[in-house]
């Protein structure tokens, strides 16, 4: 069955960006001239996704407003003759079919994914975490869909990480199948370096079979007393195969202020309007 739907999780507190995230959703922080979440939406669209489910929470209304129409703003731009901007604003509301569901309690990534069960239904679906901005010639989700079409089972995105960072990721025990593809033998959620089964960490891209929902419903709380998606995937291994794909592209973790700054500079340097001026400005600090 084709992967038609994608779940984008946007319900977290964004505590690492306080105090700004007290009133501003982290997913709406700007990355040059677009909010973080728009990069995930565009990646999904460019990968052939037909419907996007965004999991939000209390205080995240700005996300819904952003992708909705603003007739007042459109009228102002039209009167000012800002035709290019007007077209960009109108295109935002027509990008793709987006629906929203709220995670009423922040009980972990696994719980956030579970809230989308009734909308996803009985079909494979993608999960994107907007914190992970991945710059690649081919959208990472599109790369993973190609792998899914070959194996017709769960696919998770992975990359090599340093040993000191294992406590930040789900880590897989891999068996190489070919090239960048591995069979997942087991998963560990944020293990200490000495207990990590490999240096392949799970990042924010997944293609999951619908059976994951039944597993999530019985997955006990794990690290931080949250329902961890990694723990659910470990349980799912008893029923289904899981493959890992080492994607092609450069990932930026915009979930931290430093990672957000690094991504901002990297994206801005490639921007056709400001890239060259920014490069010249940065030279004075070298």
pLDDT at residue 159, as a whole number:
96
Render pLDDT for 125-137 as a digit per residue (tens, 0 to 9).
999 999 999 999 9
User: What digits encode the pLDDT tens for the residues 138-192?
Assistant: 999 999 999 999 999 999 999 999 989 999 888 999 999 988 999 999 999 889 9
Query: Is pLDDT above 80 for 93?
Result: no
**Percent of the chain's residues with pLDDT above 70:** 100
Rounded alpha-carbon distances, angstroms, from residue 84 to 76, 94, 209, 257 = 13, 16, 41, 32
Lowest mean pLDDT among 29-43, 67-81, 101-115, 239-253: 67-81
Phi-psi region of 14 (alpha: psi -120 to 50; beta: other; left: phi over 0): left
Share of the chain above pLDDT 90, in %: 70
- The count of other CB atoms within 10 Å of the CB of residue 234 is 21
Please report the pLDDT score of residue 69 as a whole number: 82
Res 286 pLDDT > 90: no
Cα separation, 223 vs 249, in Å, equals: 29
Q: Is the pLDDT confidence value at 217 over 80?
A: yes
Nearest alpha carbon to residue 243 among 173, 188, 191: 173
Q: Residue 77 sits in a domain of what CATH number? A: 3.90.550.10
CB 62 within 8 A of CB 27: no
Give the Cα separation of 214 and 236 in Å (integer): 9
Q: Which pLDDT band holds residue 84 (cuts at 50, 70, 90)?
A: confident
Whether 224 shows a pLDDT value over 80: the answer reads no
The CA distance from 78 to 149, in Å, is: 45
Q: Whole-angstrom Cα distance, residue 14 to residue 109?
A: 13
* Residue 85: predicted pLDDT: 82
Domain range for 82: 5-285
How confident is the model over 171-183, as pLDDT tens digits? 999 999 988 999 9
Bridge-partner residues for 160, per DSSP? 200
Check: CB of residue 64 under 8 Å from CB of residue 93. no
H/E element holding 97?
strand 97-102
Task: Please report the pLDDT score of residue 81 as a whole number.
Answer: 86
Give the integer Cα–Cα distance in Å for 204 and 135. Answer: 13
- Check residue 31 and give its pLDDT: 94
- Integer-rounded Cα Rg, in Å, for the chain is 19
Distance CA(169)–CA(171), nearest Å, equals: 6
Helices (H), the chain: 36-46, 61-66, 71-80, 83-92, 109-114, 117-120, 140-151, 211-218, 229-236, 257-270, 275-282
Number of domains in the chain: 1
Q: Please compute the mean of the pLDDT values over residues 69-97 and round it to a whole number.
A: 83
């Amino acid at each position: 069955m084709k992967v038609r739907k994608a779940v984008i999780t946007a319900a977290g507190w964004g505590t690492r960006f306080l105090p700004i995230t007290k009133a501003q959703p982290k997913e709406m922080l700007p990355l040059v001239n677009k909010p973080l979440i728009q990069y995930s939406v565009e990646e999904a669209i460019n990968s052939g996704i037909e419907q996007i489910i965004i999991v939000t929470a209390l205080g995240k209304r700005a996300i819904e407003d952003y992708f909705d129409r603003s007739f007042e703003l459109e009228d102002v731009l039209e009167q000012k003759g800002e035709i290019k901007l007007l077209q960009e604003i109108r295109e935002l509301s027509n990008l793709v079919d987006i629906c929203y569901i709220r995670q009423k309690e922040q009980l972990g990534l696994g719980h956030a994914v579970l809230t989308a069960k009734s909308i996803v239904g009985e079909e494979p679906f993608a999960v994107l975490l907007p914190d992970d901005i991945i710059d690649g010639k081919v959208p990472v989700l599109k790369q993973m869909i190609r792998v899914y079409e070959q194996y017709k089972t769960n696919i998770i995105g992975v990359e090599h990480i340093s040993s000191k960072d294992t406590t930040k990721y789900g880590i897989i025990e891999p068996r190489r199948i070919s090239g960048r593809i591995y069979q997942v033998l087991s998963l560990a959620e944020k293990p200490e370096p000495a207990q990590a089964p490999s240096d392949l960490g799970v990042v924010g891209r997944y293609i999951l079979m619908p059976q994951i929902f039944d597993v999530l419903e019985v997955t006990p709380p794990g690290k931080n007393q949250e329902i961890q998606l990694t723990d659910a995937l470990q349980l799912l291994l008893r029923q289904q195969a899981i493959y890992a794909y080492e994607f092609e592209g450069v990932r930026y973790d915009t979930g931290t202020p430093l990672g957000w700054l690094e991504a901002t500079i990297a994206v801005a340097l490639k921007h056709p309007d400001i890239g060259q001026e920014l490069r010249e400005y940065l030279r004075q600090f070298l």
